Structure 1
Amino acid sequence: MHTNDLADASPDFAMLYAQFSSALSFSEIPRSVIAAAKLNIFDTLACSIAGFKAPGVQEVLDIVRDWGGKPEAEVLWTGLQVPAPHAAWINGIMAHACDYDDTHDKAILHGGISVVPAALAAVGVASHKVTGKEFYAAVVTGLELICRLGVATRIGLIQAGFIYSGLFAHFAAAAAAARVLRLPPKETLNAIGIAYSQAAGTHQVTRDGALTKRMQPGFGARSGLTAVAMARKGLTGAQRIFEGQDGLGRTYLQSELDSDVLREGLGRRWHLEDLAYKPYPCCRMNHCAIDAALQLRAQPGFDWTRVSEIRVYTNAQGNQAVGQHLEANTVVQAQFSIRYNIACALVHGAVGLSDFTSEALSRPEVRSLAARVTPLVAEDIERSAGRNVTPARVEAVIGDKVFTAQVDEAKGGLQKPMSGDDLRRKLEDCLSFGGFDSRRASAFDAAIERLEDSDDIAVDIRQMIGGILNR
């Protein structure tokens, strides 16, 4: 059932979710869901370390410093305290800047980069000590909402013109912050409704290779904090937020938001458990192609220096998302260039954070090979996975021989999860790239382990930051 079928029905899913999230207690959350939230917190904060010195982050940090204001919430990895909406904003930007963060392969979005920064910022304005268990409940609340919205959306991001990580971030951040602050259902609903008045997240930033691509989830986190502050003062927002006549479903998603999927199994089926974690710091639509390229590289007789042509087949959505940046002249373009990522994989046998710097983009051997890659749409892949993160088939021509590899599910997902060693290497890579000592990875791991049992999450987060800064 699509949203327009419920235009005059009651209640809106937003009301149901406000009631659900306000009442959700840690003890009611299955251990597997807590484990999923823990992994998300780990990965989101690790990615924020890598993003600390990424283009755009220090510039925003300069803006926030210039603005000043009440010291409410921590800017990660700085020791700086700023007003909560500002902290949520810059921490969200930091977590997404390297495009290394989580992804929901069915919903086509990132979750933690708006939810975790919003929950952390809300801790700074709470009038009570927020325990680790309350913090976990808030993160679960936000992650489940953003994932449900994504799974229930039946229109692709290319057709809609929105990046769902940025668009749905506003609602998820508001829900997470409201749960931290123990808002009752009415105020939680108003917060989500106020967030709706701020919601945006265009796909055009990807097409243009703009730095604001990495900032949109942070905007969502910031608006969530603004929304809960307003709701706490008694201000009202839209009530029929998702399914109303002018709700999200019709006005943003062309009436392709499935109300049945939104509601199905709420409190029993946890979509946040399906979040995947990235082994490569680039758009998830590239990942199957990278894995396929690495398989090609390992085939007997393959020599990338002799390749005359490479064809990469994806679904239409993948082709639009990562097949259009023929020249990777900026880091954002490179993150969204299937040609560039295949070339990196074939030339170096890996794709990592060091491949996404202005210096790396000029490497002649990578640029030369990338120019030989032709992105194409495969009808069979479109039929089987038209709405999902795209599978990829890569064909490389050497003389009269064609080397072929196809990958249908990228590493890091449910079928091919990252191992503990993979996650540790990723954390160490993030620390080094962010300018920190990779030997502090053990202290970071230990701090994450302690969060669930924390009596005061604000104190433990400050200690975690101090551990990374070695102070």
Structure 2
Amino acid sequence: MLDSTTAPQIFDEEFGTHYAAFAAALLVSDIPAAVLAAARENLFDTLACAIAGSSAHGVDTVRDLVEGWGGRPEAGILCSSIRVPAHHAAWVNGMMSHARDYDDTHDAAVLHAGVSIIPAALAAAQLAPAASGADLLAGIVAGLELICRLGVSTRISIIESGLMYTSLFGYFGATAAAARVMGLDAAQTANALGIAYSQAAGTHQVTRDGASTKRMQPGFAAKAALLSVQMSLRGVQGVVRTFEGIDGLFRSYLDNRVDTGRLRQGLGQSYEMLDLSYKPYPCCRFNHPAIEAALAIRRHPGFDPARVRSAVVHLTHDAYQAVCTPEDIRHAPRTIVQAQFSIPYTVACALLDGEVALRHFTEEGIRNPDVLALAARIDGRVDAAIDQEWSRNISPAIVTVDTELGRFEHRIDYPKGHPKSRMTAADFDAKLAGCMAASGLAWPADLPRRLHAAIDGLHAAPDANTLIGLLTL
């Protein structure tokens, strides 16, 4: 039996129907300037991450597979000249955007938002030649807001549910985005969400096992979105009570531990997507507070990284489970994904090298003997006080380092990239430059300027695909 803390509120209208009406009617002229700026920022950052991800391990395999399948040349795979059916382009582009684990997070929802929404919206714009830049922007806002609202309203953690909310909620956010870009009406959009529900998935086991499918899951969501909107346009009937039905998403996946009142509250007036964070380090967001604390310690005038004996990172239970277990893997990661999800490894990089960069997450980088030797002496520990206060949010970290010269300690609550510690425009530009270099492709020197101009002018662009052309060869 559900107690009063878990019982959902009952509303006359199914949430999917409610949100579909909002998304279908959303116009750029109705969206607050700060929200439009947040959408542009997310678009810029996600595209930068896709550029870096174009050369990431495993992406070429999926890209070659899709190219071999062929089909109608509806949409482009970013950083290539390949055109394939739109759902396949969304899949590969979603994988590319997530492959480096450099993409946005919502630190309270504990999910990545843009990596399913942006690829789906871009593919939808190529399916609908009449789609304007304003349609693309409105679709991005509709998708980002839905995935963020689902995330912050969910009261069961990814560790407890075993689900990865980036991909699970991405199915619905990406579908809302694609539907708005393609001009579906409210009924068609609600139906598309129902079709997406029959495909929705996303497991946390991929991070525990360091599976390459971890980086594919947001792409699966983007792919399903394109399938769902096209089926809805052709009259395929999806479920009606997608979220709040007897066997809807909230009961079947989330044990009804969803604050349905918060889910609906202020829709169109307040925006959860304004609280998205961005990453200065290409690894799991749970690592970031510890990385910053380690970097602060390294900058201390009395600190010598060559004389570190051991270190302990104090954090929440969920963070410990995500990036400190299994302990043998986190102390000595054998794959890039395992390294991306390792507190010992990333803190060792920060202490030794004074940075955590893309170079640390390559086949060569993860075999650095000095980093691995130090990582073996760094442990995670659940801090009861932090866990009680922060629960399933991205965890603060207290890093304590013992050296031959004494003990050093530092705490970080809000790591860089959080709305309370924002990245600057220069930070984003430097990130793009690093992503361009990591791609190994010969980009025009003026690409950053042109990309900024295209995104800044998107609201007035008659054709959404001008932007896409900048990143297809």
Q: Which runs of 5+ in 2 are unaligned?
A: none
Q: Which amino acid in structure 1 is aligned with residue 165 of structure 2?
A: Y
**How many Å separate the matches in 1 of 2:133 and 2:84?**
22
- 2:471 is matched with 465
- 1:401 is matched with 406
- 1:446 is matched with 453
Corresponding residue SS for 2:206: helix
Q: Contact conserved, 2:295 with 2:354, CA < 8 A, in 1?
A: yes
Give CA deviations for 1:294-335 in whole Å, capped at 9, x if unaligned.
Answer: 011011211111111100111000000101123211000000
**How many Å separate the matches in 2 of 1:437 and 1:238?**
47
Decide which of 118, 121, 137 is 1:119's aligned counterpart: 121
Q: Contact conserved, 1:3 with 1:259, CA < 8 A, in 2?
A: no
- 2:91 is matched with 89
* Shift of residue 362, structure 1, vs aligned partner: 0.9
Q: Which amino acid in structure 2 is aligned with residue 411 of structure 1?
A: K
- 2:292 is matched with 291
Corresponding residue SS for 2:457: helix
* Shift of residue 181, structure 1, vs aligned partner: 1.2
- 1:156 is matched with 157
Q: Contact conserved, 2:339 with 2:361, CA < 8 A, in 1?
A: yes
Question: Given the alignment of the two structures, is residue 37 of structure 1 paired with residue 39 of structure 2, yes or no?
Answer: yes
Give CA deviations for 1:121-157 in whole Å, capped at 9, x if unaligned.
Answer: 111222x511111110000000000000000001111
- 2:76 is matched with 74
**How many Å separate the matches in 2 of 1:377 and 1:3?**
26
**How many Å separate the matches in 1 of 2:377 and 2:331?**
10
- Seen in structure 2, the aligned counterparts of structure 1 residues 460 and 5 have a Cα distance that, compared at 3 Å, is closer
Q: How does 1:1-12 map to 2 (within 5 A)?
A: 4-6=7-9, 9-12=11-14
**How many Å separate the matches in 1 of 2:16 and 2:193?**
8
Give CA deviations for 1:387-413 in whole Å, capped at 9, x if unaligned.
Answer: 100100000111372110000111001
Give CA deviations for 1:70-114 in whole Å, capped at 9, x if unaligned.
Answer: 011111111211101001100000000000011000110111110
Q: Which amino acid in structure 2 is aligned with residue 434 of structure 1?
A: S
Q: How does 1:233-252 map to 2 (within 5 A)?
A: 233-252=234-253
- 1:207 is matched with 208
Size of the aligned set, in residue pairs, is 464
**How many Å separate the matches in 1 of 2:5 and 2:54?**
41
- Seen in structure 2, the aligned counterparts of structure 1 residues 460 and 342 have a Cα distance that, compared at 3 Å, is closer
Question: Given the alignment of the two structures, is residue 335 of structure 1 paired with residue 337 of structure 2, yes or no?
Answer: no
Q: Contact conserved, 1:105 with 1:389, CA < 8 A, in 2?
A: yes
Corresponding residue SS for 2:319: helix
Q: How does 1:228-307 map to 2 (within 5 A)?
A: 228-307=229-308
* Shift of residue 180, structure 1, vs aligned partner: 0.9
Question: Given the alignment of the two structures, is residue 422 of structure 1 paired with residue 427 of structure 2, yes or no?
Answer: yes
* Shift of residue 238, structure 1, vs aligned partner: 1.2
Give CA deviations for 1:416-458 in whole Å, capped at 9, x if unaligned.
Answer: 0001111110000000001134633333323323323211112
Moved more, 142-151 or 247-256: 247-256
Q: Contact conserved, 1:6 with 1:243, CA < 8 A, in 2?
A: no
- 1:134 is matched with 135
* Shift of residue 2, structure 1, vs aligned partner: 7.1
Q: Contact conserved, 1:115 with 1:139, CA < 8 A, in 2?
A: yes
Corresponding residue SS for 1:231: helix
**How many Å separate the matches in 2 of 1:134 and 1:455?**
9
What is the TM-score when the length of structure 1 is the normalising length?
Answer: 0.96
Q: Contact conserved, 1:47 with 1:100, CA < 8 A, in 2?
A: yes
- Seen in structure 2, the aligned counterparts of structure 1 residues 182 and 120 have a Cα distance that, compared at 3 Å, is same
- Seen in structure 2, the aligned counterparts of structure 1 residues 5 and 285 have a Cα distance that, compared at 3 Å, is closer
**How many Å separate the matches in 1 of 2:190 and 2:7?**
20
Q: Which amino acid in structure 2 is aligned with residue 451 of structure 1?
A: L
- Seen in structure 2, the aligned counterparts of structure 1 residues 373 and 78 have a Cα distance that, compared at 3 Å, is same
Give the root-mean-square deviation of aligned CA atoms. Answer: 1.3
**How many Å separate the matches in 2 of 1:64 and 1:28?**
38
* Shift of residue 461, structure 1, vs aligned partner: 1.8
**How many Å separate the matches in 2 of 1:84 and 1:52?**
18
Moved more, 451-460 or 149-158: 451-460
Question: Given the alignment of the two structures, is residue 344 of structure 1 paired with residue 374 of structure 2, yes or no?
Answer: no
* Shift of residue 3, structure 1, vs aligned partner: 7.6
- 2:388 is matched with 383
* Shift of residue 5, structure 1, vs aligned partner: 3.6
Corresponding residue SS for 2:334: coil
What is the TM-score when the length of structure 2 is the normalising length?
Answer: 0.96
Corresponding residue SS for 2:54: helix
Corresponding residue SS for 2:187: helix
- Seen in structure 2, the aligned counterparts of structure 1 residues 460 and 423 have a Cα distance that, compared at 3 Å, is closer
- 1:19 is matched with 21
- 1:109 is matched with 111
**How many Å separate the matches in 2 of 1:140 and 1:263?**
16
- Seen in structure 2, the aligned counterparts of structure 1 residues 30 and 138 have a Cα distance that, compared at 3 Å, is same
Q: Contact conserved, 1:174 with 1:221, CA < 8 A, in 2?
A: yes
Q: Contact conserved, 1:152 with 1:259, CA < 8 A, in 2?
A: yes
Moved more, 297-306 or 23-32: 297-306
* Shift of residue 368, structure 1, vs aligned partner: 0.6
Q: Which amino acid in structure 2 is aligned with residue 20 of structure 1?
A: F
**How many Å separate the matches in 2 of 1:143 and 1:286?**
23
Percent identity among equivalent residues? Answer: 49
Question: Given the alignment of the two structures, is residue 455 of structure 1 paired with residue 455 of structure 2, yes or no?
Answer: no
Q: Which amino acid in structure 2 is aligned with residue 382 of structure 1?
A: D
- 2:331 is matched with 326
**How many Å separate the matches in 2 of 1:260 and 1:115?**
24
- 2:56 is matched with 54
Give CA deviations for 1:170-213 in whole Å, capped at 9, x if unaligned.
Answer: 11111111101111111101100100000000000000000000
**How many Å separate the matches in 2 of 1:360 and 1:96?**
19
Moved more, 451-460 or 405-414: 451-460
Q: Contact conserved, 1:2 with 1:258, CA < 8 A, in 2?
A: no
**How many Å separate the matches in 2 of 1:150 and 1:162?**
12
